[in-house]
Amino acid sequence: MLICPLDYRYGKKEMKAVFSEENRLRTQLLVEAALARAHAAVGNIPEEAAETITEKCSPEHVRLERVKEIEAETKHDVMAMVNAISEQCGDAGRYVHLGATSNDIVDTAAALEFKAALDMIERDLDMLIITLCALAARHRDTVMMGRTHGQFAIPTTFGFKISGYVMEMLRHRDRLREARSRVCVGKMSGAIGTGAGFGDKFFRIQQLVMQDLGLGVEEAATQIVGRDRYAELVFLFSIIATSCERFATEVRNLQRSEIAEVAEAFDAKKQVGSSTMAQKRNPMLSENVCGLARIVRAYLDPQLECMVLWHERDLTNSSAERFILPHAAVLTDDILSKMTDVFAHLTVNEANMLRNIDSAGGFIMAESVLLALAGKGMGRQEAHELVRKVSRKAEDEGKDLKEALKANRAVTKLLRGKELDKVMDPTNYVGKAPEMVDRTIAYAEAKLGRKII
């Protein structure tokens, strides 16, 4: 019977495979094999023994089912694996796990999982960035309403709005790359990190193991790798997921019936929006992203709690992390893929964007008028007060702002003829938004090292 939605509803199989039982065993076997090779390299064990252990440290020889059988008796998962390896190695089995403690294997194997997961997340980020760049370029000059506090503000372009998303995801990409060296770290330093079990050759053994596996070294471990590293990883997942929730919330708002400026893709022939309201076309992917992002963030608090352990360690982190790390990674990967899908197939209704601008009655151009008056010699504060009073009067009387301005002598004295029409045209007041779209795309191309548009 399946209980966890990751088993039957959410997540991609590639990321779920990284944190599967099978891969957990495979990575731990890789660590045990690397340890044997390091011992042989420093002369602690025969080269032939290391070769045998390396050969047998594979799921073909050390089967998950056998490890579970032994664990049922020993009540210790790592020792069960060690015994299962030893069974396969003959005389060389006496050298398996030599000098190590359980978390030398567990935490180092986890670092291999993190490395694979971060590779996938970086690819996800790249795909989303490329998709967003294409959307921004397509709507570089598409004028729409800018909104603050849920109210009409001044005009912008849809491409510029999306450019902000591009830059945010590029920052996450930088964060991910910076975090790799701190997160993808293992240890091979024994019971409480002193290396006593490895003798005088400890430093060399630890260095060889981590070089072999392509990982960094926890230089001053306790019995475990520092959990601030794990907290940073979960924070990275959380902040990426939260950015996606922000983007998805914007899609949901802009798809509201009374706004109707964008819409998620909808298969009109087959897709159902509601079991009873047959007309419904809901932003379901965006809503799904928002819900899952809240779960990812929720894992950050228990991972922070896992930093606080007694002395050199206790087991309070272990059970919690078996939930936290796989779920946070799988859901973040899922969220990024869904967000890419949303933006790759987004419908942009330019006519409704212009309709909403027109519905503002010209009031969104108040700042443009204020600055135009100031440019004609009127003091900035005087211009602000004049436009404020005219705006309030026009609103009270149900008039268009341009109509009210044309009736004001102080305004028409400075803005004559078609000057006011030009100042009141929303397409003339998007600043350098289109150029900033170009700059954003160029920056993204430089960061990704490839041509996007």
Domain borders along the chain are 11-95, 102-264+277-355, 363-423
Q: Indicate the pTM of the whole model.
A: 0.94
- For 199, the token pair is 């003798």
pLDDT at 273: 54
Q: Find the catalytic residue in 149, 257, 275, 311.
A: 149
pLDDT at 275: 44
Beta bridge partners of residue 336, listed in sequence order: none
pLDDT at 274: 46
Q: Is 327 tagged catalytic?
A: no
Residues of the chain with pLDDT under 70: 267-280
CB of 59 closer than 8 Å to CB of 21: no
Residue 95's contacts (CB-CB under 8 Å, 6 or more residues apart) are 36, 39, 45, 49, 50, 53
CATH number of 102-264+277-355: 1.20.200.10
Q: Is 274 tagged catalytic?
A: yes
CATH number of 11-95: 1.10.275.10
- Phi/psi of residue 154, each to 5°? -135, 165
Q: At what angle do helices 64-74 and 77-89 cross, to 10 degrees?
A: 120
Tokens 């967000």 correspond to what residue? 339
Beta strands 216-217 and 185-186, pairing class: parallel
| Among the listed residues 262, 252, 250, the one whose alpha carbon sits nearest the alpha carbon of residue 352 | 262
| Spatial distance between the Cα atoms of 73 and 200, rounded to a whole number of angstroms | 35
Per-residue model confidence as pLDDT tens digits over 214-248: 999 999 999 999 999 999 999 999 999 999 999 99
- For 402, the token pair is 């341009």
pLDDT at 266: 73
Q: Find the catalytic residue in 274, 319, 345, 359.
A: 274
